[in-house]
Structure 1
Amino acid sequence: MKTLQHPQSLVVITAILTFALASSTIPPLQKILDCYKGCNCSQFKYVEIDMLCNGLNLTRKPLPTPPLRSTSLNTSIYLENGTIPELSNNTLLVYSRYQIVYLSLKNNTIVHTDKNAFSSLMHLQTLDLSENFIAEDDLKKSFYGMAKTPIKELNISSMNLTNVSDDFFRHLQNVPNFRLIFRNNTNEFPLNALQAIRQMTSLDFGGNRLKRIDLRNASFTHLQSLDFDNNRFYEFPNFCSSNTFSNLKHLSVQWNGMRYLDRNYYSCLKNLTNFHLNGNLFPELKSNQFSMLPNIFKITLSYVACAMHTVERAVFNNSALKQIFFRKNRIWFREAEVNMQIFEGCSSLELLDLNDNVFHVTTESEYTTLFGDLTTLKTLVMGGNGMRFIPHVITSKLTKITSLALYRNSISDLKPNTFENMTSLNKLFLGNNEISTINEQSLPKSLKKLEIYGNPFSCTCAMVWLVDWMHKEPKTFGISKTGKYQFWYNCSSPMNLKGVHLLDLKMSKTSCLMGHDVKIVTLTFSILLIVFLVTGTWMYRYRWHIRYFIYMVRYSQRQEVDTGEYEYDVFVAYCAGDRHWVIRNMLPVLEGSENLKLCVHDRDFEVGKLIVDNIVDAIEASRKIVIVLSNSFAESDWCQFELNLIQRHVLENGQRLLLVVMLEEIDTRHVTKAMRAMLQTTTYLMWGEEDYARKAFFNRLRMLLRSPTRDAGNRRLSV
C-alpha cells in the first residue's frame, strides 16, 4: 500500500470513511451469517467466510453446507470432534460448488476414505485429518485425489501411522511448496517415504518419540522449515552427515531433553535463520557455538531446567545474529563457570531476552563486561532477575534501545537523569519493583509506554507531577477505560493513604506548597530517620533470630489455614527400582488406614501425555510432595530432572510442601549439588527394617501428611 503524498487527500478520505460508517454502508470486520443448524458462520474482512461445526453426528446425514455466498468467497470449514465414519468419492461433492480453501475434519472417527474423496475440492489449500483412524492403505490412496487439488498443507497427526511404507506419499511427490504436519504417530523416521515428496518445503515431525535419527542418506533439497520438537533425542541430530539441508531456514529441536550440542552437526546449515533449542538439558555451551551460521537471525535457548552449569566466552559470537532468547534458565551471572563475555561478537544484536536468570549479586563492572559491546541493541528484557539497580552501562552505552523491560526485580531507586542518554527510549517497563518515589527528572517525558504498576509508592507531594501525567495520558501507563491496571497503582505510604489508587489522589502543587510547615516536616522526618536507623541496626544484629521466628510463625499458620483444593494429597516421586517398596509399604498405610489419595506415576500418569507434562501436572495438583530417596534415585538422570522440577516448585510455593524419605544411606559419589542442598534444608525420615523403627517412621509420616482439609472420599489402593 503506497503512502499518501498529499495531506489534503488524507482529509478527504477520512471524511468519506466517517460518513460511510455513520450511514452504515460499510459492513463490520466480522459479520454473523445464517448457517446450518449446529454450526456458526461468520464473514471476515469482506472476502473470507468461516463455518465452525463441532460435535455433529453425520453418520447418515449429508455434510453441512456454508452460506451461498461461499461460492465466490474464500471459505474455511471446521467439521471437528463429531462422527463421519467414511469419506466416499461422493461425500465431499456437496462442497464442489463452493470456494473451500481450508477444510478441517479433525477427530471425526473417520476409518475409511476413497481414492477420489478430495478430488472435487478445486480450491483446497489446507487439509486437517488429524486424530482420525483411517487405515494407512486407505489414506495412501486418498492422496491421489488430493494431488488433483491445489493443496499446500496436510495435517495427518495423531493417526497411529506406525507402518508407513516407502511409497506412502508417492501421489504427492510433485505437489509444489508442500507443508506436512506429521506429529504424534511413530517412533521411527520414515526417511524414504518422506523423501518421495520431492518439493516439500516444511515438515513438522514433533512428538513422535524419536530417540535418534540417521540422516546420512537424507535428501530434502527443498526443505526450508523442519520441526523435531517434543521427541526424545539424547544428542543433537547430525544434519551435516549429508549435504541435503542447504535450503533449511527454520530449525526447531525443542523440549527433547538433549544433553549434547555438537556444533559440527549443524555447521553446514549456511542458510539457517531461526534456531530453536528451548527445553533441553545442555550442561554446557562452548565458545563460538553458533559462529559458523552466516545467515542466523534468531536463536532461542531457554528453559534449560537448571541443567546448564558451564557457559564459555563468546558462545553467541556471530555478527549476523539479531535476536537471542536466553530466558528462564536460572543461570547465575557471576559464578566462575559462567563467562560474562558470553555475548562477545554479537555486533548486530537488536533483541536480547534474559528474563528469569539470576543477577542479584552482579556488580557494575560485570554488567559492563556483559553488555558493553552490544551498542546496536534496541530491545532488552531482564524481568525477574533479582536486579537491585539499573546498570550504568545500559543507560550510558546502549543508547539505541527503544524498549527496556526491567519488571519483577528489586530496583528501589531511580536517580535524576538516569535515562538522559537513551534518546531513542519510548517503552519502559518497571512494574513490580521496590520503587517508592520517582523524581520528575528521572523519567523522559517522550515515553509512549511506561508501566510502573505494582511498586510501593509513597504518595507525597513529590509524586504530584506523576499523578498529573497519569491523568493526562492514562494509555501511556497501560490504564484503559475499563480500568485495566488502574488498581495496580496504589499508595503504600503514608498510612492514611495506604491502598488508595494514584488516580484517586486529591493533591495539587498549590496545596503541597501551602499546606505544610517545612520545619515540622523536617523535624518529623529526622526523628523517623533516627528511629529507622536504630531499629534497622537492631534488626540487622538479630536478623537470623527474626527470620527464624517469622518462618516458624508463617509455617504454623500455613499448616492451619491450608484450605486449597487439590486432586491428590501426596505426589510420590520415586525411581523404578523402588516401585515395590512404594506399593508394598507406603500405599497400604497412607491410602488404606490414613485414607489419603496418592499420585504414583505407574498408576496415575496420563497415558500418551509427555512425561514432563505428567510430572508438572502431578506436582501442581498435589498438596504435598514426598521424594523416596535411594541410590537408584540418585543415579537416575530422569529422577534428577524430576528433582529439579520439584525444587523449583518448592522454591515458588514454600518448603512446607516437601518431605523426603531416605530408604538407605546415599553414596556420596551419587549426591548432586541439588540433592545436597535439599538434604541440608529439608527434614527427612529414615526407613528402618525393625518393627519399632517402621512404627515410628509411619507415625511421623502420618503427622506430617495430615491435613484438616483433605478429601475423605473414595481412595484407590491397588496399582
Structure 2
Amino acid sequence: MVFARYLWLLLYYAQYAGTQLMKDYEDITLSILSPPVDEASLALPFNMGQDRTSGCFCRSTSRKDLVVCFGNYECAKFPKINIGVCDTLVVRTTVISQITVGDLDQYFGLRALKIDGNSRLHTLQPGIFRNLSNLEELSVSYNTQLHYLQTHTFTGMGFRKQPPMKIMEMIANTTIRRLNLADNQFELITDDDFPYMPNIEVLDLRRVFAIAVSPYAFNPDRFPKLRILLLSGNNLPGINIYHISCQQLLLLDLSSNKGTSSSSLYYEIDRGVFSFCRDLRFLNLAYNRIKHIYNYTFIGLENLRILNMENGTLFHIGLGTFKPMKHLEILNLGNNPLVSSENLTSSQFEGLNELKMLILRNCGIKRFNDDDNMFEMMPNLTHLILTNNQLFYITVETLKPLKFLKVLDLSQNLLVSWWQPIFLASGIQPTKLYLMNNKISHFSLGMIQDLNYLLEKYNASVEIDLMDNLFICDCNSMYKIYTWLQVNGSDILKKYFAKSNILCSSPDVWEDRRVADFMSSIKNLRCFVYQKFSTAMLLVWTAPSLVTIAFLLIVIFLIYRYRIYIRYWLFLAKVALGRSFIRRTLKADNLNKAYKYDAFVSYCNDDREFVLEMISQLESQPPYLKLCIYERDFEIGTFISEAILRSINESRHIILIISNGFAKSQWCRWETHLAEYHRLFLDDGTPHDPLVLIKTGEVENKYLTTTLKYLLKTKIYHSWTEQNSDDFWKKLRNVLVKNK
C-alpha cells in the first residue's frame, strides 16, 4: 500500500512538476563491456554436439568437469544436456532472452554456474536457483539487457542475517542497475555488508526487519550511482546524524518504520540529519509515528520536490518548519491529527512559495483562520485536498490567495448550502470541484451564482461533483431556484442541471431520484399554486400578527409595571390551593400503584445482543425481575407510539441503553424525550427517580441531542465493560430492586 502511494506521487510529480525526477538519469548510460576471454573454454577438446531442445552447441573437457554451451544465433533456450558430475557450467554468447523456473533443476550437482555475455537476456524468474543446493560460485556478468533482479530471485540461497558477499560481488561486476533484496532478513545493515557497486541506481531493502543501519552502509564511496533507496516496512526507530548517508540520493523511502512490536516508540528525526542531502528530490516518511517537526528538521533539503508524511501521529508543526524546502511542490500531511491541540497558521507553512499540491485529508480541520491565512504562504497552489475533515463552511478570505487553484476536494465534510457566492467573490476558478458527501440540502442563490461562474469560465468543461448530499426535493426548497433559472439562468447552467446525476434524499417519494427530474416536473407538481397560496397566506396572517404582537407588548409592559402585586397574588393563590396537601395525596397514590413491569428497556437494534444478555441476567436469576422488551411484549396490531406510552406508564423504571446507534436512532430519541417528561411529571409524587442510564461504548458528540447531553451531564449512569460484567449486573439489579 505504501509503495503504491509512492508510485502514484511519483507519476503525479512527473506530470505536474516543473522538472521530472527521472530527468536526473539522463547522464547515466550503460557501459557495454566485453566479457573477458576464457582461455580454458577456447581449448576444450571434447565436442558434445548440438542440444536439440535449445539449439545450443556445447564443448567440455575430457572428464566433463567443465562444460561450455554457446550459440550466437541458434541457442535461444537454456540447454538441457546430461553433464553427469560436472563441476562448472558456462552458458555464454547466446540469444537466450529469459531463464524460467525449472530450467536449472537438473544441474543440482553444480558448484559453479556462469551465465555471461548473453546480449538478449533480460529476465531471471524468481526461484530459478531453488535446486542448486551445492552452488558455491554464481556469475551473471556482461548481460547488457539484464537491468534488474526481481524479488525472491535468490530464494533458498541463504539470504539471512546479511547479504551474501559473494553474490553481491558478482552483481557488482555486472551492468545491473536495480538490486531488489526486499522481504529477506537483515536486522543489522553494517558498513561492510556491500562491496563497491558502481552501477547500482536502485536498491530495494523493504521489509527486511532492519532495526539499525550503519552510517556508511550506503556511502557514495560504495554506491556512487545510487539514486533510489527503499527502506520502508522495517523497524528503524528514526533518523539521526549517524544514520543513512544519502548525499547522492534522489529518492529516499523510509515509510512504515514503526519500531519493533515490543518497543513501538515515536519516530524521531534529529537535528541536521539532512544537511548533506541537497540532491534529494523525494522523501517518504509516511506511516511513521512522527510526533512533531521543527524548523531544523528539514534543513538541507533545499531541492526536495515531494514530501510524504501521511498516516502518522503528527500533531505539532513548529514555526518555519517547511522554510528550508523552498522548492517543495507536493506536501502530503493526510491522516495526521494536526489540529488536535492547535490551529494551522501561516508561520508554520512559511516558505512554500512553489508548492503545487497540498494534501490535508482527514486531519480534523473544522475551520481556517482568516486573520492568519495559511494559504497566503502558497500562492502557486494548484491542488488542495481537504476531504474527510469537519469543515462546516469555507470563506471567501480563505480562498482569495489561491489564484492558480485547479483542483479543490472538499468531499466528506459537513458543508451546508452557502448563501453568498464564494468562488465568484474570491475570483477562484477550479476546474475540478468535489463536494460529495456533505450536508448540502438545497441550492441557494449564492451556490447557483458560483456554479454559473465556473461553468461559463470553462465552457462546461469544469467537473463539479455534488453527489451524496441531503437535497430536499419539495416546492419550498426548489421553486425559487427553478424560477430564477428560468428567468436569469444561462443555457450552460440549465444544461448542467439537466445532465447532472445529483440525487434527492427526501421526501420519500423522491428519494434517490434525480434533482433534475424534480425540477423538470415542478410545473406538474402545482408548485406555482403553492407559491400563490403562500403569498396569500402571508397577507392574511400579516395584519392579525401585527395586532397580536402589539397586544403582547402591552401585556408584557403591564406585567413588568405591576410585577410586585402579581407576585403577592401568586403567593396568596399557593396558600389557598394547599399545595403541600396535594403532594402528599399524589405520593400516597403512587406508593400503592401496582406496576406490570419492573423496567421498560429503550434500545436500538445494534444493541440487541446486549439486551438479550440483560434479559438472561435479570429475568432468569433472583429476584426474577420483569422487563418490557418491545420485540417481545408489544401487542401485534397496536400503534407503536401508543404501545410505548402505555409500557412506560406501566413500568416502575425506564432503562435507556445509550450507544452510538441509540443516539442516531429517531425512535430512541423520541423515547428519551418521553422518559424525561415522565420523570419530570412524577417529580412531586414519586419517591424515586425512575430513569436508569446505561452507556455502552463511546458516543460521538455530533449525534447527541440536547436532552441526552443534559442527562449524561446531570445523572450518574452505569458504564458497561466486559471486564466487570458481574459487578455491573449486580449494581443494576440492586437499583431496580431497591424501590420495588
Return the TM-score normalized by structure 2: 0.53
The alpha-carbon deviation at position 375 of structure 1 amounts to 1.1
Q: Which residue number in structure 1 is paired with residue 381 of structure 2?
A: 377
How big is each residue's C-alpha offset from its partner over 1:328-370, in whole Å with a ceiling of 9 and x where there is no partner?
Answer: 113326x24976632111111110000001112x35436x432
Indicate whether 1:328 and 2:335 are aligned: yes
Distance 1:137 1:254 in 2: 38
Distance 1:118 1:405 in 2: 54
CA, structure 1 residues 474+338, in 2 after alignment: closer, same or farther (shift >3 Å)? closer
The alpha-carbon deviation at position 177 of structure 1 amounts to 6.1
CA, structure 1 residues 684+510, in 2 after alignment: closer, same or farther (shift >3 Å)? closer
The alpha-carbon deviation at position 231 of structure 1 amounts to 0.6
CA, structure 1 residues 166+96, in 2 after alignment: closer, same or farther (shift >3 Å)? closer
- Contact persistence 1:412–1:436 (CA under 8 A): yes
Indicate whether 1:151 and 2:146 are aligned: yes
Residue number among 507, 530, 533 corresponding to 2:520 in the alignment: 507
CA, structure 1 residues 113+404, in 2 after alignment: closer, same or farther (shift >3 Å)? farther
Q: Which residue number in structure 2 is paired with residue 170 of structure 1?
A: 169
Distance 1:113 1:436 in 2: 76
Indicate whether 1:124 and 2:127 are aligned: no
Residue number among 339, 349, 366 corresponding to 1:343 in the alignment: 349
How big is each residue's C-alpha offset from its partner over 1:475-516, in whole Å with a ceiling of 9 and x where there is no partner?
Answer: 996xxxxxxxx5xx3212344323323354461687699833
Indicate whether 1:141 and 2:137 are aligned: yes
- Contact persistence 2:255–2:285 (CA under 8 A): yes
Distance 2:515 2:109 in 1: 64
The alpha-carbon deviation at position 90 of structure 1 amounts to 8.8
- Compute the RMSD of aligned alpha carbons: 4.9
Indicate whether 1:519 and 2:523 are aligned: no
CA, structure 1 residues 696+412, in 2 after alignment: closer, same or farther (shift >3 Å)? closer
- Contact persistence 2:379–2:404 (CA under 8 A): yes
Amino acid in structure 1 at the alignment position of 2:314: M
- Contact persistence 1:152–1:178 (CA under 8 A): yes
What SS does structure 2 have at the residue aligned with 1:302?
coil
How big is each residue's C-alpha offset from its partner over 1:292-341, in whole Å with a ceiling of 9 and x where there is no partner?
Answer: 2121000000111xx334321122222211110000113326x2497663
What SS does structure 2 have at the residue aligned with 1:272?
coil
The alpha-carbon deviation at position 254 of structure 1 amounts to 0.5
What SS does structure 2 have at the residue aligned with 1:518?
helix
How big is each residue's C-alpha offset from its partner over 1:635-678, in whole Å with a ceiling of 9 and x where there is no partner?
Answer: xxxxxxxxxxxxxxxxxxxx9679xxxxxxxxxxxxxxxxxxxx
Distance 1:472 1:229 in 2: 49
- Contact persistence 1:467–1:502 (CA under 8 A): no
What SS does structure 2 have at the residue aligned with 1:372?
helix
What SS does structure 2 have at the residue aligned with 1:397?
coil
Paired residues for 1:381-392 under 5 Å: 381-392=385-396
Paired residues for 1:217-616 under 5 Å: 218=219, 219-236=222-239, 238=241, 245-257=246-258, 259-304=267-312, 307-317=313-323, 318-332=325-339, 335-336=341-342, 341-360=347-366, 362-365=367-370, 368-420=372-424, 421-438=426-443, 439-443=447-451, 444-445=454-455, 446=458, 447-459=461-473, 460-461=478-479, 472=495, 486=501, 489-502=502-515, 504-505=517-518, 507=520, 515-521=528-534, 552-553=603-604, 555-557=606-608
CA, structure 1 residues 123+311, in 2 after alignment: closer, same or farther (shift >3 Å)? same
How big is each residue's C-alpha offset from its partner over 1:191-231, in whole Å with a ceiling of 9 and x where there is no partner?
Answer: 43433322211101011111111123633221100011011
Distance 1:560 1:110 in 2: 67
Amino acid in structure 2 at the alignment position of 1:448: V
Distance 1:122 1:331 in 2: 54
Distance 1:356 1:380 in 2: 13
CA, structure 1 residues 165+415, in 2 after alignment: closer, same or farther (shift >3 Å)? same
The alpha-carbon deviation at position 518 of structure 1 amounts to 2.5
- Contact persistence 2:409–2:433 (CA under 8 A): yes
Unaligned 5+ runs, structure 1: 1-60, 64-70, 78-86, 478-485, 529-548, 563-654, 659-679, 688-694, 704-719
What SS does structure 1 have at the residue aligned with 2:450?
coil
What SS does structure 1 have at the residue aligned with 2:247?
coil
CA, structure 1 residues 458+314, in 2 after alignment: closer, same or farther (shift >3 Å)? same
Number of aligned pairs?
462
The alpha-carbon deviation at position 520 of structure 1 amounts to 2.0
Rg (Cα) greater in structure:
2
Distance 1:131 1:682 in 2: 60
CA, structure 1 residues 121+498, in 2 after alignment: closer, same or farther (shift >3 Å)? same
Distance 1:463 1:112 in 2: 81
What SS does structure 2 have at the residue aligned with 1:192?
coil
Distance 1:90 1:302 in 2: 51
The alpha-carbon deviation at position 373 of structure 1 amounts to 2.0
